A and B are shown apart, each in its own frame.
Chain A
Amino acid sequence: MPEQRIIRNYVDRHNSYTIESYLSSGGYSALRKALGIAPAEITDMVKKSGLRGRGGAGFPAGIKWNFIPPDSKKPVYLCCNADESEPGSFKDREILERDPHQMIEGIIIACYAIRSHKAYIYIRGEMPYGAKRIQQAIDEAYEHGYLGENILLSGFDLDMKLYIGAGAYICGEETGLLESIEGKKGEPRPKPPFPAQIGLFGCPTIVNNVETLACVPHIINNGADWFASIGTPRNTGTKIFGLSGHVNNPGLYELPLGINLLELIEEYGGGIPGGRKIKAVSPGGSSSAVFSADELDIAMDFDTVAAAGSMLGTAGVTVMDETVSMIKVAQNLAHFYRDESCGQCVQCREGTWWLEKILREIDEGKGAIEHLDIILDACSQMRGTTICALADGCAMPIESIVRKFRDEFEEHIKRGHS
């Protein structure tokens, strides 16, 4: 079966990132259409389409937009989260580099719906090429009258600004992102208040992911019912799945939500190199609990994966074959979260540090069986006890690895060496 490409439809085209290419495939017609509809109706359409946030949480986008107070005296902001840094995720980078205009068109429509006149695109500092493409696309959109004052003679004004980060995973957390745009360390804020009440510069703010916003023009053009007819009833639309690790054909695959994980790995990923067996799969970016080989016959949608004790997250699927040491995997992940913890909360700052230390000692043959329960205890104390979800993102995969591969850990500890 071929992919069902909506967002990725033109990414392979020569000069796909230019406004000429975008216009030649009907680009900005959704904006023209949207500007003739009342803002509240646009939000209703997005709500009816069932579009759920593609940044990891899967929260319905239209409902989020409705959280903006309708009578706000303060300016309203929209921030596009292009800080793609979740290990295993590389879907937004393609949109940013190869088809940025559909995201920009989505941002303009979203701003019109929530009555915002200032939008930011926050891109991570490690994507200089993407930043260049986005800046070019913003400039083109201004030149063509899709940004600025009185867009397409509708009376609607919007300014858009690119903000480039400087290296911090935590700025992908929506309030960490806002702090960063304000010129501070990317330390997440306690919630409530949520950004829709008090966000950027103290004003109502919506933060949406790149892929979420790229869906919006397609919903306006083809209708909410069309979008809702793809996928499953509560998980609508296509999703860009990223396959990496031990597969023959790593890469991006746009498929309806609800695709079977085994099918994704076998049919689209071409199976495992050398005919080896799968040992574990991280289904939704590194913060998701891993599945063992016997848990892969599952529909890849937000609700089904959550019900199985993990999360769809960013749908970045990392495949690990039978040659992999799960002790090294856990250690690699702990290192990442220790490195990226902002340090505000004790459970996270200390927890990630201790997890990495204990896992390294186990790997080096200096572990004891009691260490496994200490790891599980630390993980449970890190979950749901901090300002943001980074500590949970570390605890969930590590807890799942220790639980599901405990025999491997015990055997390794007893042998006392790698």
Chain B
Amino acid sequence: MPFPPRLRDKIQEIADDHETRLSALIPVLREVQNEFGWLSNESMEEVAEALDIPPSSVQNVASFYTMFFTEPVGTHVMWLCRTLSCALRGAEGLEHHLCRRLGVKTGETTADGKITLLEAECLASCGTAPAMLVDDTLYENLTETEVDRIVDKIKRSG
């Protein structure tokens, strides 16, 4: 699916704002992912063409950074921190709880396509552990009740 003209203009704008075309790649991929939810092979090829860089450079970067999705994900992405400080304050229990509640294993998407549950490495919220990033919102000092409330809110939303 070719990029809509608005997105192509935006990519050009980002490219012009960077010192090299390659250095615009990460911001451009973020923009494309925001548009489609993930980065398909077709999208990556179109980015390579728009920035006039090798397709392999795009693939390399898209596969290296964990926040780029090279496969479809749910409408919302939950990044539950698993690293030490969160683990010491109950992250593992929360992960089991979330898996049960959502009916998925970590790394999977709910049947209704709304939520993908992923493990995050340290979110720099160790003092307010356990923590979870849901899309652009960080939730801290999590409990099972709080996690249920977040899931309910997403389920209710469109």
Interface string of A311-338 (1 = CB under 8 A from B): 0000010101000100011001101100
Contacts of A316 in B (CB 8 A): 126
Q: When A318-B84, A332-B83, A332-B84 are in contact, do A185 and B124 touch as well, CB less than 8 Å?
A: no
Contacts of B19 in A (CB 8 A): 201
Q: Once the chains bind, are B129 and A126 in contact (CB under 8 Å)?
A: no
Contacts of A400 in B (CB 8 A): none
Name the residue of chain A whose CB is nearest to the CB of B85.
A244
Contacts of A246 in B (CB 8 A): 88
CA distance A335 to B22 in the complex (A): 31
Contacts of A318 in B (CB 8 A): 84-85, 88, 126
Q: Once the chains bind, are A90 and B67 in contact (CB under 8 Å)?
A: no
Q: Once the chains bind, are B129 and A244 in contact (CB under 8 Å)?
A: yes
Q: Is A301 an interface residue (CB 8 A)?
A: no
Q: Once the chains bind, are A183 and B125 in contact (CB under 8 Å)?
A: no
Q: Once the chains bind, are A180 and B85 in contact (CB under 8 Å)?
A: no
Name the residue of chain B whose CB is nearest to the CB of A83.
B124
CA distance A181 to B120 in the complex (A): 22
Interface string of B54-82 (1 = CB under 8 A from A): 00010011001111100000000001001
Name the residue of chain A whose CB is nearest to the CB of B133.
A126
Name the residue of chain A whose CB is nearest to the CB of B128.
A250
Q: Is A174 an interface residue (CB 8 A)?
A: no
Q: Is A204 an interface residue (CB 8 A)?
A: no
| Shortest CB distance B10–A (Å) | 15
Q: Is A282 an interface residue (CB 8 A)?
A: yes
Q: Once the chains bind, are A183 and B128 in contact (CB under 8 Å)?
A: no
Main secondary structure of the interface of B (DSSP, over half): mixed
Q: Is B136 an interface residue (CB 8 A)?
A: yes
Q: Once the chains bind, are A88 and B22 in contact (CB under 8 Å)?
A: no
| Shortest CB distance A147–B (Å) | 16
Name the residue of chain A whose CB is nearest to the CB of B22.
A183
Interface size on B, residues (CB 8 A): 42
Q: Once the chains bind, are B83 and A201 in contact (CB under 8 Å)?
A: no
Q: Once the chains bind, are B23 and A182 in contact (CB under 8 Å)?
A: yes
B1-33 with Cβ < 8 A to chain A? 19-27, 29-30
**Other-chain contact of A93, B20, B124, B136 (Cβ < 8 Å):** B124
Name the residue of chain B whose CB is nearest to the CB of A319.
B88
Q: Once the chains bind, are A84 and B124 in contact (CB under 8 Å)?
A: yes
CA distance A246 to B85 in the complex (A): 9
Name the residue of chain A whose CB is nearest to the CB of B28.
A183
A172-229 with Cβ < 8 A to chain B? 180-186, 201
Q: Is A168 an interface residue (CB 8 A)?
A: yes
CA distance A185 to B127 in the complex (A): 30
Q: When A89-B124, A184-B60 are in contact, do A164 and B129 touch as well, CB less than 8 Å?
A: no
A241-270 with Cβ < 8 A to chain B? 242-246, 250-252
Contacts of B137 in A (CB 8 A): 129
Q: When A244-B126, A318-B126 are in contact, do A166 and B89 touch as well, CB less than 8 Å?
A: no
CA distance A246 to B65 in the complex (A): 31
Interface centre among A167, A243, A252 (most CB of B within 10 A): A167
| Shortest CB distance A281–B (Å) | 12
Name the residue of chain B whose CB is nearest to the CB of A84.
B124
| Shortest CB distance A225–B (Å) | 33
Extra inter-chain contacts (14) besides given A169-B121, A252-B127, CB under 8 Å:
A87-B85, A88-B85, A125-B67, A126-B123, A166-B61, A167-B67, A168-B64, A169-B122, A182-B20, A244-B88, A244-B126, A245-B84, A286-B122, A342-B64
A to B CB contacts below 8 Å, 11 in the list: A90-B125, A166-B67, A180-B26, A181-B23, A182-B23, A183-B20, A185-B61, A242-B126, A245-B89, A316-B126, A342-B64
The 7 tightest CB contacts between A and B, nearest first, are A166-B65, A167-B66, A244-B126, A167-B67, A183-B22, A183-B25, A244-B85
